[in-house]
Copies of this chain bind each other. A is one copy, B any other.
Amino acid sequence: MAETAREEVLKQSLIFSSLNDRELAELTRFTIERHFKPEEFIFWEGDTADYFYIIIEGRIKVIKYSSSGKGFIIAFFGVGEMFGEVAVFEDKSYPASAQTVVDTRILGIKKEHFLSFLGNHPPVALSIISVLGGRLRDAQSRLKDMVGERVEQRLARTMLMLASKMGPTLPFTRQELADMSGTTTESAIRVTSRLKERGIIKTVRGKITILDETKLTLLSEGPPLI
């Protein structure tokens, strides 16, 4: 990809929106581009963290595995979003694994380059703080949900959270939905089947569409509608 095209991508990205063309060009010189096929791993939990990444095209999921080997999807990220940044700012190895969902192209920036760049560009640092703050808020909210709510509510909340980010049609399998909600595929299927019967959602293979957000929200908050 040409330098100017890379600059364009960075410019679109929320965290770099404050930069002018000269600064973008400066940053672009530090980037390397990488391409991955679907289901490929970009890095594994525990790998040395030299780079942090921004998605140019495609979609990735961030996963942690529990002692039994069961994976839990911490987050999905799409075009313009950064990932792998926590390790970089903390000088530790990656705390989770990153796997592509579809064909994906990413820009990587070396840790040292980025840290020094950050030091000279306070607005970018503030953007990063804002992004991290938002993610922290999400993580803590989900933490409460995962331990305090029952499976039906957890699934409803996961769907609503995803919908607020990417619209009413969610491109996920029940398997993925389950892995994001801390439950099993079977339970996810049972719950979504019931929701489908009640006309709250619509499903096709690998996709879920929320039809009645109000009812779903109600369900996510209280005891099941009888």
Q: Which residues of A contact B (CB under 8 A)?
A: 64-68, 70, 72, 74, 85-86, 89-90, 92, 95-96, 115, 118-120, 122-123, 125-126, 128-130, 132-137, 139-149, 153, 181-183, 221-222
Q: Is A142 a contact of B143 with CB atoms below 8 Å?
A: yes
Q: Which residue of B lies closest to A92 (CB)?
A: B137
Q: Is B130 a contact of A89 with CB atoms below 8 Å?
A: yes
Q: 9 more A-B contacts (CB under 8 A) besides A67-B148, A86-B133?
A: A66-B145, A74-B143, A89-B126, A95-B137, A118-B129, A135-B136, A139-B143, A143-B143, A146-B146
- Which of chain B's residues have a CB closer than 8 A to the CB of A85? 133
Q: Is A67 a contact of B143 with CB atoms below 8 Å?
A: no
Q: How many copies does the complex hold?
A: 2
**Which 8 pairs, one residue from A and one from B, show the smallest C-beta to C-beta distance?**
A147-B182, A66-B148, A139-B139, A125-B125, A64-B144, A132-B132, A89-B133, A86-B133
Q: Is A129 a contact of B89 with CB atoms below 8 Å?
A: yes
Instruction: Kindly state the separation between the CA atoms of A84 and B85 in the bound complex, as whole angstroms.
Output: 22
Instruction: Kindly state the separation between the CA atoms of A25 and B148 in the bound complex, as whole angstroms.
Output: 44
Instruction: Kindly state the separation between the CA atoms of A92 and B130 in the bound complex, as whole angstroms.
Output: 11
Q: Which residue of B lies closest to A72 (CB)?
A: B144
